[in-house]
Amino acid sequence: MEINQLNPDIVSVAPSALRVFDHEISADPDIVKLTLGEPDFNVPEHIKQAAIASINADQSHYPYYWGIQELRDAASTYYREKFGYQYTADQIVCTVGATEGLSATFKTLFQPGDGVLIPMPAYPVYKAMALVNHLKPIMIDTTANGCVLKPQQVTDAIKANPDVTIRGVVITDPSNPTGVVYSEDQLAALVPVLRDNKIWVISDEIYGELTYGVQHYSLSRWLPDQTIIINGLSKSHAMTGWRIGFAFGPTGVIDQIAKAHQFQVTTPTSIVQYAAVEALTHGQNDAAAMRKVYEKRCDYLKQELTKLGVTYVEPQGAFYIFMKIPEQCQLDSFAFARQLAKDYHVGLMPGAPFGDPQALRISYASSNENLHAAVDALTKELTKLGVL
Ligand code: PLP
């Protein structure tokens, strides 16, 4: 069999550089990893018990493809109370993590050749999803504006791409990899240009519960008819491996996303859906305890990086710090990260896959001990390179 007979959309897309790098450094048994975006907390006990009860109650049948009614009712209430989302249960599809919600949304909203704006630095999955769906990802560098997309940049991108119909934008708020949170004013400022140009908003709000001293707003408040929200329990309830997420959207559009979802995976498992009902009905405070810990770790890293003279994008949410590699190092992000892993057994994520080859992403979803090890390794590496 020939590889060139396989689907070229898949063959031509590189596997996730983040996963590949993480796998590479994992060969070192002593490695301390601050690479993946994975909460280091266990699933709250009451949710585990709900999953066990669901198994014992033989809730083992095919759930309806949109997700079970109880879960969509619970999601409608939970997210309305948390963030003011205005969606009834029949405007919510339960997906296999946020990732599957993104995938079904990309598939449904766009046609081959459409342009999708991706403000950078960004979670690399968006670009890959655009490519496998024959779309044109248009990357917009936002570093000069504190990693927030400005309305003028949307206008400029439209002008700079006269042959492309720009039909979508992805907003990640709070952001992976920078932890930046859009303010109410910054979101409101984007509304006229997105509305006038009929640009769909894919609003990835998976870190919405993890903000430090600032409030999370959703663009759906201003643009309910042209926004699809992606959210889920991976980060808020430390349930990454359970694979449960949600897509929220206007009637008519969400129905089509539900179909795309049905044909790609059908549903998350029944047991996880029943456990997720518990998370959304009795787990309103689950994220708060984790958030407190993350915030302390974030403060610690900011303080230590500042002491080292290392600059970073000011984070207000998620569990990442996006730091600049000092120019004097003369190493790009992969070279620096590899060297740090080799010399001091600490893994930080290269910034290049996020769009900045001179940055590193530190995930502080990791123990204090690991954070200390990372600061120690950075200190030694920067000393060795003559920066300190
Ligand atoms: N969106 C963003 C911005 C993420 O950082 C991640 C995971 O790191 C996801 C989506 C994927 O979420 P899930 O595990 O629920 O598929």
Q: Report the domain count for the chain.
A: 2
112 φ, ψ to 5°?
Answer: -50, 135
Which stretches of the chain score pLDDT less than 50? none
The tens digit of pLDDT for each residue in 67-94 reads 999 999 999 999 999 999 999 999 999 9
Cis peptide leading into residue 44 (ω within 30°): no
- Scan for tokens 């301390």, then name that residue: 32
Residue 242 sits in the same domain as residue 371 = no
- Give just the sign of the alpha carbon dihedral 161, 167, 173, 175: negative
CA 72 to chain centre: 22
Residue 238 sits in the same domain as residue 249 = yes
DSSP state of 108: H
Q: What is the structure's pLDDT at 17?
A: 87
Q: What is the structure's pLDDT at 6?
A: 87
Q: What is the structure's pLDDT at 332?
A: 96
Which of 228, 259, 282 corresponds to the end of one domain? Answer: 282
CA 218 to chain centre: 15
Residue 93 sits in the same domain as residue 7 = no
Residue 62 sits in the same domain as residue 158 = yes
CA 243 to chain centre: 14
Whether the CB of 35 sits within 6 Å of ligand 1: no
- Residue length of the chain: 388
Residue 275 sits in the same domain as residue 306 = no
Q: What is the structure's pLDDT at 29?
A: 95
Which of 261, 282, 303 corresponds to the end of one domain? Answer: 282
Owning domain of residue 348: 3-42+286-384
Residue 261 sits in the same domain as residue 330 = no
Residue 238 sits in the same domain as residue 372 = no
270 CA from centroid of ligand 1 (Å): 21
Q: What is the structure's pLDDT at 115?
A: 98
Which residue among 125, 237, 322 has the greatest number of ligand 1 atoms within 8 angstroms of its CB, and so is best to mutate?
A: 125
Residue of the CA atom closest to atom 8 of ligand 1: 37
CATH of the domain at 167: 3.40.640.10
Residue of the CA atom closest to atom 3 of ligand 1: 176
Half-sphere exposure for 211 (CA within 13 Å, toward CB): 18
| C-alpha distances out from residue 342 to 186, 271, 352, 377, 381, Å | 41, 42, 19, 11, 11
Whether the CB of 204 sits within 6 Å of ligand 1: yes
Whether the CB of 232 sits within 6 Å of ligand 1: yes
Residue of the CA atom closest to atom 7 of ligand 1: 37
